[in-house]
Amino acid sequence: MKINGNAIRPGMVIEHQDRLWRAVKISHTQPGKGGAYLQVELKDIRDGTKLNERFRSSESVERVRLEQRPYQFLYADGDSYTFMNNETYDQISLSVEALGRDRVAFLKDGLAVTIEMFEDTPLGVQLPDSVVLEVIEADPVVKRQTASSSYKPAVLENGMRIMVPPHIGAGTRIVVNTAEGTYMERAKD
């Protein structure tokens, strides 16, 4: 589907220079001389290389529609992560590079994810917005610290280190934002 160059938004996948690119950052620029343009940081879906490109409103680009399928994380075997399609029960394995090193820490057995496919080739995984993890280790509370302004380091069950409020201790289950890797709230279970 053809779209105007100024209609690109972050997260969109476009075909440019015979490759598939995901728009990471965009900024509208209106120089004093000449026409306005959209400065777009693109990331190649297959190999992760980056490209900065300018698109004017008069240009058109091909927007690619990715098929999104529900999958469930089954297990990890070294650097290979196996997922099962919830509808057909087919299994696929993805590498750490396809998933992203920062994202594999959030994968737990049975976690429901969405895998983006293009022509039956898996391109990426969308994690849920948040996951519930248990705090394994947390520093003790220092007296006279206010809960609103101070945070302390904690280690989660997946080995990840994040900052949590002083009232969170070891054994507490918390909700973690998967996009930023930050504490959101105490789990309600």
Pick 130-186's CATH classification: 1.20.1250.20, 3.40.640.10, 2.40.50.140, 2.50.20.10. Answer: 2.40.50.140
Q: Report pLDDT for 149.
A: 64
Regions in the chain scoring below 50 on pLDDT: none
Q: Report the CATH fold assignment for 67-126.
A: OB fold (Dihydrolipoamide Acetyltransferase, E2P) (2.40.50)
CB-based contact 61:8 (threshold 8 Å): yes
Rounded CA-CA distance 29/144 in Å is 48
Q: Report pLDDT for 83.
A: 94
Q: Which residues contact 27 (CB under 8 A, 6 or more apart)?
A: 38, 39
Q: Report pLDDT for 143.
A: 66
Domain 2-63 -> CATH class: mainly beta
CA distances from 88 to 3, 84, 117 (A): 34, 8, 15
Q: What pTM value is reported for the model?
A: 0.70
Instruction: Tell me, rounded to whole angstroms, the distance of Cα 102 from its chain centroid.
Output: 8
Rounded CA-CA distance 35/55 in Å is 11
Neighbouring C-beta atoms of residue 95, cutoff 10 Å: 10
CA distances from 35 to 26, 61, 101, 132 (A): 17, 18, 40, 48
